[in-house]
Amino acid sequence: MKIRHTHSIIAGALSCALAVTAAVAQSADPLPSWNDGKSKQSILTFVSTVTREGSPQFVPPAERIATFDNDGTLWAEQPLYFQLLFGIDRIKELAPEHPEWKEVEPFKSVLAGDLKTAFAGGTKSLVEIVGAGNTNITPDEFDQIVKKWAATARHPKTGRLYTEMAYQPMLEVLEYLRANGFKTYITSGGGADFMRAFAERVYGIPPEQVIGSVGEVKFEMRDGKPVLIRQAALDFFDDNVFKPVAIQRNIGRRPIAAFGNSDGDLQMLQWSCAGAGTRFCLFVRHTDAAREWAYDISPLGRLEKGLEEAKAHGWTVVDMKNDWKVIYPFEKK
């Protein structure tokens, strides 16, 4: 009798412990790096609304598509886009093999440290800087080059690895959405192959769910083996009006949630939130000069028309200074 009684006590205690654990798990804050407020609540309310079975606003898991810009939305974009900094480092690394660069723009100005002149050629110059030394190689070779750079290169302001400068609050949003049946995609003006080198490790987003700008690629036979070879020409620039086009081409479903930080993301948000049913659109607004940067109008991230649209349609605008407890993962206590 005593043994049975003891077993009953143990079973009861385990049952209570499991119940408490389940209750704690259910009540745990999925967005702990967010301050309580309208922005945080809007995310929680949206997810709860579209995932509640039996609700007229319920969205089947297959249709729970969320798209995210990268630069300025998932990680920092100042003082220059990180891929551009990668291109500059690559030019400096390969300069001894290319003496002609000393006389040819934009390489001449990059090597002289005159970035204003180097960027004067606009998109053409930027493409040349990013592509320098990264063409006539396979995607696998490029992937290894990016990974090697990301493992050692450090941000000029924080001294941190660039991959450490992903936004902790947005990492939590990605995880929260996936925990609730969403499929998360990156759709960025940055190079798709560049982002694929680190997106799964940093964001939990696999290569096939990364959409970005792409250069031309050519099929060849080398040493009797079929290979793909990166070319110098830009094939598709994934920004502004082209973002919805790329999403349709690559996903085939209109997102029900879209996240950006600049007017370059506006058309993606417009298209996503114009669909039927409950939709969610969010802009990350850079307002924290102390912990990050404060800007609306910047060569790297102008947010002007987007703010007007957000106000007109009731989209969520994140005030980074007031809405986020921490900016980067390394700030967590």
Per-residue model confidence as pLDDT tens digits over 271-298: 999 999 999 999 999 999 999 999 999 8
Give the pLDDT of residue 326: 97
Give the pLDDT of residue 7: 46
Whether residue 6 lies inside any domain: the answer is no
Q: Where do we find the tokens 């119940």?
A: 19
What mean pLDDT is predicted for residues 22-35?
Answer: 73
CA 106 – CA 117 distance, rounded (Å): 8
What mean pLDDT is predicted for residues 131-143?
Answer: 94
Split at pLDDT 50, 70, 90, the class of 133 is confident
Per-residue pLDDT at 18 exceeds 80:
no
Split at pLDDT 50, 70, 90, the class of 301 is confident
User: Residue 259 belongs to what H/E stretch?
Assistant: strand 257-260
Q: How many CB atoms lie within 10 A of CB 305?
A: 11
Whether residue 19 lies inside any domain: the answer is no
Give the pLDDT of residue 1: 42
Who has greater pLDDT, 155 or 3?
Answer: 155
Q: Which range is least confidently modeled, 3-12, 22-31, 265-274, 298-307?
A: 3-12
Average per-residue pLDDT for the chain = 92
Per-residue pLDDT at 66 exceeds 90:
yes
Whether residue 206 lies inside any domain: the answer is yes
Whether residue 21 lies inside any domain: the answer is no
Whether residue 128 lies inside any domain: the answer is no
Split at pLDDT 50, 70, 90, the class of 216 is very high
- C-alpha to C-alpha distances, 229 to 94, 128, 287, nearest whole angstrom: 19, 17, 42
CA angle, residues 74, 77, 81, in degrees to nearest 5: 120
Q: Where do we find the tokens 């206590």?
A: 333
Whether residue 107 lies inside any domain: the answer is no
What mean pLDDT is predicted for residues 180-185?
Answer: 98
CA 281 – CA 272 distance, rounded (Å): 8
> CATH number of the domain that 220 lies in?
3.40.50.1000
Percent of the chain exceeding pLDDT 90 equals 88
pLDDT in tens, 85-110: 999 999 999 999 999 999 999 999 99
Domain that includes residue 64, residue range: 32-78+161-331
Q: How many CB atoms lie within 10 A of CB 231?
A: 14
Whether residue 225 lies inside any domain: the answer is yes
- The count of structural domains within the chain is 1
What mean pLDDT is predicted for residues 206-226?
Answer: 97
Split at pLDDT 50, 70, 90, the class of 27 is low
